[in-house]
């Protein structure tokens, strides 16, 4: 039986006194790709962030289970070490920290031991080649002065190196030109076979390249409809007005 990686049960989330997510349930198995679509402010990024354990969000009821365990008490870094990965919509810049140093430390933390320098260099070269990234990236400071596209490539580079079991991709396609989108999609597809993926996106164009098993439509913090890839195509053609009738 395929392993259930993520089970979200009737999740309610607030920021301060403002409820953002109001009863979401979903289940992602290894090898599945789920897409979450919805208008701005629907709660999509909140869902990804709360699964990853962002301290700004409070789970008011419901639960998030990862590999069968309730992870409410797990710290963010423990989730990462357990195989969870979030590709951020707006990755933070860390001035003064070189990308190469950051990647090496991150890989060592998640794997529990530092890879040998030679092995790591080989892995890194292969992953960077796959994403058509120049080696000069490694000496730049993390996300500092990066274009939107460069930030997204770095996120996917991290995903390739960290080989997560569960990948949460928050608008990874935003800011990418057509060629960059294709390269990033290839990167996602490279890990998707053995990973559970939750892809948050506004656009069908990414889902043309990364085929989802399930598409969820999120309105006002609730999943109002789930379906196959045809649902994303319908949203692309007709927008969200017809979904309002379902709320």
Partner 1 sequence: MTSYLDATLPSRSEHLWRYTPWSRVHPGSVDTIPTVDSAVAKSEELEIVNQPFQPLPETDIARIFLNEVLTETILVECDGKEGSIHIHAGGHAVATHLHISCKTTSNLVIHIHGEAEWFGLALTGHAQPNASLSVGIINELSTDSVMVRVDDWYVQRDGRLELATLSMGGHRNKSDIRSTLQGTNSSLKQFIGVHGHGTRHDDHHVEIQHQQPHTDSHLLLNAACDDRSHSIGTGALTIDDVAQHTDASQVFRNLLLSPSSRAEAIPELEVLANEVAAAHGAASAPINKEQLHYLMSRGLSNEEATSMIVEGFLVDSFTGLSSDYVRDAIQTRLTVHLECKLIE
Give me the residues that bind partner 1 (CB under 8 A), please: 52, 54-56, 75-77, 79-81, 85-86, 88, 91-97, 102, 105-106, 109-110, 141-142, 158, 162
Query: What is the rounded (10 degree) CA torsion for 97, 102, 105, 108?
Result: 180
CB of 79 to partner 1, least distance (A): 8
Determine if residue 228 is left, alpha or beta; phi over 0 gives left, psi from -120 to 50 gives alpha, anything else beta: beta
CB of 102 to partner 1, least distance (A): 7
* Cβ closest to partner 1, residue 76 vs residue 233: 76
Cβ-contact 223, 198 below 8 angstroms:
no
| Number of helical H runs and strand E runs in the chain | 9, 12
* Cβ closest to partner 1, residue 107 vs residue 192: 107
CB of 141 to partner 1, least distance (A): 7
CB of 46 to partner 1, least distance (A): 14
Helices (H), 9-116: 44-52, 76-81, 99-111
* Cβ closest to partner 1, residue 92 vs residue 245: 92
CB of 211 to partner 1, least distance (A): 26
Orientation of helix 99-111 relative to helix 148-162, angle to 10°: 30
For 197, the enclosing helix (H) or strand (E) is strand 196-200
CA distance 47 to 184: 22
List phi, psi (to 5°) of 166. -125, 120
* Cβ closest to partner 1, residue 105 vs residue 211: 105
* Cβ closest to partner 1, residue 67 vs residue 182: 67
Q: What is the spatial order of strands in the sheet that 4-15 belongs to?
A: 18-29, 4-15, 58-66, 69-70
* Cβ closest to partner 1, residue 141 vs residue 203: 141
CB of 241 to partner 1, least distance (A): 34
């Amino acid at each position: 039986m395929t392993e259930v990686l993520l089970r979200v049960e009737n999740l309610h989330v607030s920021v301060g006194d403002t409820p953002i997510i109001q009863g979401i349930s979903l289940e992602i198995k290894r090898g599945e790709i789920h897409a979450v679509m919805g208008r701005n402010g629907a709660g999509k990024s909140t869902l990804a962030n709360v699964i990853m354990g962002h301290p700004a969000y409070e789970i008011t009821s419901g639960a998030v289970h990862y590999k069968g365990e309730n992870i409410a008490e797990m710290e963010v870094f423990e989730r990462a070490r357990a195989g969870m990965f979030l590709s951020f919509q707006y990755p933070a810049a860390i001035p003064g920290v070189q990308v190469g140093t950051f990647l090496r430390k991150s890989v060592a933390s998640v794997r529990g031991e530092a890879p040998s320098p030679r092995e790591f260099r080989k892995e890194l070269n292969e992953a960077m080649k796959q994403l058509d990234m120049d080696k000069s990236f490694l000496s730049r400071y993390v996300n500092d002065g990066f274009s939107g596209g460069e930030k997204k490539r770095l996120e996917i580079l991290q995903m390739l190196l960290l080989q997560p079991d569960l990948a949460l991709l928050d608008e990874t396609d935003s800011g990418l030109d057509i060629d960059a989108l294709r390269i990033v999609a290839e990167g996602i597809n490279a890990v998707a076979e053995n990973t559970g993926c939750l892809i948050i996106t506004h656009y069908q164009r990414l889902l043309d390249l990364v085929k989802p098993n399930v598409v969820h439509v999120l309105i006002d913090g609730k999943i109002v409809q789930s379906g196959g890839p045809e649902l994303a195509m319908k949203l692309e053609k007709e927008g969200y007005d017809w979904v309002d009738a379902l709320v």
